Amino acid sequence: MNYIEVRNLVKTFKERGKTLTAVDGISFSAKKGEIFGLLGPNGAGKSTTINILTGLLEKDSGTIKLLGFEPEKNWEYVKNHCNVATAYSWLSDVLTIRQNLKVYARLYGVKNHEQKINELLELFELKEIADRKVVRLSSGENTRTVLCKGLINDPKVLFLDECTVGLDPDIADKTRTLIKDYQKKNDCTILFTSHYMYEVEQLCDRIAFMSEGKIVRIDTSDNLKRMIKKRTVEIAVKKDVGALKNFLKTEGVDVWFGKGNNLRFEVTTEKDKMYKVISKIFHQGFMLSNLHIQGPTLDDIFIKISRKK
């Protein structure tokens, strides 16, 4: 079953007498228990899409279903079983962490809310500062508090937008583990946005790339990385580095970095060229002290799609 289903979604805005299309007929779905990444450069339409899905904006046209229901027709049920955590949302500054969570627990009708709040405070290492006002929190503490708010009602659908902003590497890693554990334990569907490609690759089952209001491609991380047919090769030779440079030039390979006996270059994998070049290097008798081949990353895919390469 699809817990998130979007079909032909359109949203436009009026600006200085012109109509700007922020979301241009996009369609996608996320299954029960799936972490679905929504990525793209600034202005691609991600935030507008999430704001429509979470009820902050009205769509122009298209259909949306959450948990199998159209939100506008079953708002109470959808609201009670969905939640959102974004690094850019604001909690009440004049209330403490605990007081903020109590407010949301009551809004969502959470039973045994004191116990639930304590569990979340423990999980996100906030128990010792639970009675501190939000205005006095660091950005990382605020981010963790927002995540507690996002899980307060044990949602079946969770929207996470830049959820590790402001976290130090240790807490960010723990947070990603908590998100993954929660998703597996509760079979929760998560719509996940981030500009940190490492965590996208670590968490997401599938990824949709948006550009200029449209979805360019939806696929797994591994399949997306196959879009790039080049590999970066780093080689260190014991001697004859100049001869190796000349040999690579005859093979049509440009060295874009060289220092001492270390060379770095890009070579295509099409028609097995990379493997043939490396094989020839060995057969030419060059003595290597190091060889490292680096495949494409999601950052490379992000740049490729953003720049329309």
pLDDT in tens, 95-124: 999 999 999 999 999 999 999 999 999 999
Domain boundary among 225, 244, 276: 225
- Provide the pLDDT for residue 133: 96
Question: Of 8-22, 56-70, 165-179, 198-212, which gets the smallest average pLDDT?
Answer: 165-179
Please state the φ and ψ torsions of residue 264, each to the nearest 5 degrees. -135, 135
| pLDDT per position as a tens digit, 72-83 | 889 889 999 999
Question: pLDDT averaged over the chain?
Answer: 91
Query: In this structure, are 159 and 280 located in the same domain?
Result: no
* Residues 203 and 125 placed together within one structural domain of the fold: yes
Residue 196 lies in a domain: yes
pLDDT of residue 110: 94
Q: Tell whether 304 is covered by a domain.
A: no
pLDDT, tens digit (0-9, with 9 covering 90-100), for 251-276: 989 888 888 889 999 898 888 899 99
What percentage of the chain carries pLDDT values higher than 70?
99
Report pLDDT for 37: 96
Residue 204 has pLDDT above 90, yes or no: yes
| 191 and 254, same domain (yes or no) | no
213 found inside a domain: yes
Per-residue confidence at 154, pLDDT binned at 50, 70, 90? Answer: very high
Q: Are 140 and 87 in contact (CB under 8 A)?
A: no
In the predicted model, is pLDDT for residue 86 greater than 90?
A: no
124 in the same domain as 238: no
Tell me the average pLDDT across 79-100.
90
State whether 31 and 68 are in the same domain: yes
Q: Which of 300, 298, 234 is nearest to 267 (CA)?
A: 234
Residues 34 and 103 in one domain: yes
Q: Give the end of a domain, one of 179, 204, 225.
A: 225
Last residue of a domain, one of 205, 225, 245: 225
- 138 and 193 assigned to the same domain: yes
**Taking 60 as the threshold, does the pLDDT of residue 309 lie above it?**
no
- Residue 92's pLDDT band, with cuts at 50, 70 and 90, is very high
CA pair distance 252, 268, nearest whole angstrom: 11
The whole-number pLDDT of residue 132 equals: 97
Q: Is residue 169 part of a domain?
A: yes
- 307 assigned to some structural domain: no
Quick one: 188 and 242 in the same domain? no
- The tokens for 235 are 């080689």
| pLDDT above 90 for 297 | no
φ, ψ dihedrals at 16, nearest 5°: 55, 40
The answer on pLDDT for 66 being more than 80 is: yes
Residues 6+ positions from 117 with CB-CB distance below 8 Å = 98, 101, 102, 105, 148, 152
- Which residue, 218, 51, 230, 89, is CA-closest to 166? 89
Mean pLDDT of 210-224: 92
The pLDDT of residue 38: 95
- CATH number of the domain to which 64 belongs: 3.40.50.300
Residue 113 in tokens: 């809310």
Give, in order, the Cα–Cα distances in Å from 224 to each of 41, 103, 142.
Answer: 16, 42, 33
Residues 56 and 123 placed together within one structural domain of the fold: yes
Q: Are residues 61 and 88 in the same domain?
A: yes
Tell whether 147 is covered by a domain: yes
Q: Does the residue 302 lie in any domain?
A: no
Percent of the chain whose pLDDT exceeds 90: 62
Is the residue at 154 inside a domain?
Answer: yes
CATH code of 272's domain: 3.30.70.1150
Verify that 254 and 216 share a domain, yes or no: no
Sheet holding 61-66, edge to edge: 18-31, 2-15, 61-66
| Global confidence as pTM | 0.84
Residues 177 and 35 reside in one and the same domain: yes
Whether pLDDT at 281 is above 60:
yes
| Count of domains for the chain | 2
Instruction: Give the mean pLDDT of 29-38.
Output: 96
Domain that holds residue 142: 2-225
- Which pLDDT score, from 0 to 100, does residue 308 have? 67
> Quick one: pLDDT band at residue 33, thresholds 50, 70, 90?
very high
Q: What CA–CA distance (Å, rounded) separates 141 from 239? A: 53
What is the structure's pLDDT at 302? 82
